[in-house]
Amino acid sequence: MKTAAVILLLLAGCSESDPSVSGGVAGIEPDHETRDAVRRWLTENTDSGKWEEVRWWDAADARAAKFANCKAWAKSLRRLDGSDDAAWLKKCDAIKKEPAETAIRLKFRTATPVGGKRLTDKVFMVRDGRVVEHDDFAEEYGYRQALFPD
């Protein structure tokens, strides 16, 4: 998993240890803490408080990935029309100032009200032990597959 995040950082022209991007990949919360936080969230937010874990993906540094994706878009725009897009570059710089967030993906099963099973595949964002499900992760940033390959 670390490899995908490093590739995104290199595409953006920054190093894995770039201190401006939450200390690189090493700046994310450890998997076990992140998974425990997601499990607490599931207990509180699923209908029965019970689920079956099908697959976890390794945790990833969401801010570093957003920054790398932004820089890649800015470079693409520069190649297309030859000009610097100040708005994109400003957005990229703003991402570096965001608080660090850990992204983690989980595929899990829950029981439906009629007795069947529902398979759910979600990305969760974890910051300081607080969990938020992130349904639009793929559409908003377009790097879900790079961070969490199947």
pLDDT at 13 over 70: no
Whether 143 has a pLDDT exceeding 50, the answer reads: yes
Boundaries of every domain in the chain: 2-147
Does pLDDT of 61 surpass 80? Answer: yes
Residue 137: count other Cβ atoms within 10 Å of its Cβ. Answer: 20
Q: What does pTM read for this prediction?
A: 0.67
CB 145 within 8 A of CB 3: no
Q: Is the pLDDT of residue 139 over 60?
A: no
pLDDT of residue 127: 86
How far from each other are the two terminal CA atoms of the chain, in whole angstroms? 11
3 state SS of 4: helix
CA nearest 27: which of 78, 1, 61?
A: 61
Average pLDDT, the chain: 74
Residue percentage of the chain with pLDDT more than 90: 20
**Per mean pLDDT, which of 11-15, 69-73, 78-82, 91-95 is the most reliable?**
91-95
The Cα 64–Cα 93 span in angstroms is 12
Among the listed residues 9, 52, 34, 50, the one whose alpha carbon sits nearest the alpha carbon of residue 104: 34
> In what helix (H) or strand (E) does residue 27 lie, and over which residues does it extend?
none
Output the six-digit token pair for 78. 């520069």
Categorize the per-residue pLDDT at 14 as very low, low, confident or very high, splitting at 50, 70 and 90. Answer: very low
Confidence of residue 12 (pLDDT cuts 50, 70, 90): very low
* Per-residue pLDDT at 8 exceeds 80: no
